[in-house]
Amino acid sequence: MLAGCGAGTCQVIVTTPMEMLKIQLQDAGRIAAQRKTLSGQAQLSGRGGAQPPVEPPAAPRPTATQLTRDLLRSRGIAGLYKGLGATLLRDVPFSIVYFPLFANLNQLGQPASGEKSPFYVSFLAGCVAGSAAAVAVNPCDVVKTRLQTLQRGVNEDTYSGFLDCARKILRNEGPTAFLKGAYCRALVIAPLFGIAQVVYFLGIAETLLGLPRVQP
Q: What is the 3-state secondary structure (H, E, C) of 63-115?
A: CHHHHHHHHHHHHCHHHHCCCHHHHHHHHHHHHHHHHHHHHHHHHHCCCCCCC
Share of the chain above pLDDT 90, in %: 33
Assign 180 a pLDDT band (cuts: 50, 70, 90).
very high
Distance CA 170, CA 176 (A): 8
Question: How confident is the model over 113-134, as pLDDT tens digits?
Answer: 777 788 888 899 999 999 999 9
Q: Tell whether the torsion through CA atoms of 109, 185, 132 and 80 is positive or negative.
A: positive
pLDDT in tens, 134-172: 999 999 999 999 998 877 766 778 888 899 999 999 999
Give residue 207's pLDDT: 78
* Mean pLDDT (whole number) for 6-10: 87
Q: Residues 47-55: what's their mean pLDDT? A: 54
Q: What pLDDT sits at residue 199?
A: 83
- Nearest-angstrom CA–CA distance, 155 and 59: 22
**50: confidence class by pLDDT, cuts 50, 70, 90:** low
Model pLDDT, residue 176: 94
The answer to whether 167 and 106 have CB atoms below 8 angstroms apart is no
pLDDT at 33 over 90: no
- Kindly report, residue by residue over 92-109, the tens digit of the pLDDT: 999 999 999 999 998 888
**pLDDT tens digit string along 75-95?**
888 888 888 889 999 999 999
What mean pLDDT do residues 18-31 have?
81
Does residue 12 have a pLDDT over 60? Answer: yes
What confidence tier does 71 reach under pLDDT thresholds 50, 70, 90? confident
Whole-angstrom distance, CA of residue 23 vs CA of residue 149? 6
Question: Which residue stretches of the chain are H helix?
Answer: 2-47, 64-75, 77-80, 84-108, 119-136, 138-148, 162-173, 182-202, 204-209
Q: What is the mean pLDDT of the chain?
A: 83
Those residues with Cβ within 8 angstroms of residue 131's Cβ, 6 or more apart along the chain or in another chain: 186, 187, 189, 190
pLDDT band of residue 60 (cuts 50, 70, 90) is: low
**pLDDT, greater one: 157 or 19:** 19
pLDDT over threshold 80, residue 181: yes
> Dihedral through CA 95, CA 96, CA 99, CA 102, nearest 10?
-110
